[in-house]
Structure formats: structure tokens, C-alpha cells
Amino acid sequence: LNDLNIFEKALDSDLFIVFGSSFIKGKLIDELLKRRSINIHMGLSPFYRGSSCNFWAAYEENFHLIGSTIHLLSKGLDSGDILYHALPTFKNCNNAFDFSMKSVLAAHESLISKIKDETIYNYIPIKQDKTLEKKYTRNSEFDDFHANEFLKRNITINHIKDILNKKRDDNFLIRPFFY
């Protein structure tokens, strides 16, 4: 969009958080970048970027890479400097779907907390190390075949716990927030 007038009221804000957006272009992205906007990426960047990241992490049994990345908005897709990672815990999770969806809750709860106590404004953003990328996916790659194949596995929460105990290394996380 090149006419920012339609956003006049919305642009009269102190903080901008983008979630679930398609690719933002034109004058709007330029304006959001000027205002140091925050993006919620449902996946742990730089490991999984693009679309359906937590699904692909689960599909590849990389449950230790399920979560969300809170980062500064950038012109590149999911490539902004990272403020922190938000990750799910097992509390109230019965299966892989619950665990993955809890990462959405972790992202939102963390932002509420960090905005309220104003710590979100104190973070020095950290550049993403693109050499750590495991998968970059597009919407078209998530299809019925892969979804059904994953569902047939019927992965239990105990299986996820076992994998996390073997693979989780919090050293690669940036200021982790667990919820």
C-alpha cells in the first residue's frame, strides 16, 4: 500500500506488533520500520523460517525448535533482528498439536508481560545467524499429504518429552521465555 492515509488512526500508536501478516510492502513497511515495529514469528528463527514453521519442526521431530521468535520487523521474511524466543512448556499439553499451539500463547503472554514491565524496550536486538537455518518453507509446501502423514504418527506428549530431553540446548536460544 502506498497511501498511508487509510492507516492514519492506527499509525497514531506508541507500539506496533505484527502477527499473522502476509508480506508487507511499500510505504507501509517503510513506516513500520521507522517505528521499530515488532513481529511475532511462529517458529524459532533462524532455524525455521517462512510458513508453518512449527509444523515442520514437529514433522521433522525437532520439538526442541518449536516456539516463537519475537523480532524487529524487517523487509525480509522472518529475518529481523531477534529480541527473544518464546517457548511452550508441557503444562496442559496432551499431544503435539497442544504443544505447538502453546507456542502461540507463549508469544502473546510474553509480550504482555514484557510490555507491561517495559523490558521489551531495553533489549538490544541480535542479528540472525542464517547459517543455522534448517528449513525455509512456503505455504504451498504444507499440504494434505504431509499433514495426514504427520497425524498418522499419533505422537504422544511423552515422546515429545523424550526428544526434548535429548535435544534441547537452551544455549542457542535468545533470552528464552517459557510458558
Closest-CA residue to 64 (of 93, 38, 103): 103
| pLDDT averaged per 10 residues, the chain (length 179) | 73 89 87 94 94 94 96 90 96 89 96 96 95 92 94 92 91 94
77 vs 100: CA distance, rounded Å = 21
How far apart, in Å, are the Cα atoms of 11 and each of 16, 31, 32? 8, 9, 9
127 vs 147: CA distance, rounded Å = 32
pLDDT tens digits, one per residue of 99-123: 989 999 999 999 999 999 999 999 9
pTM: 0.90
173 vs 47: CA distance, rounded Å = 11
pLDDT value of residue 2: 62
Closest-CA residue to 53 (of 172, 146, 170, 136): 136
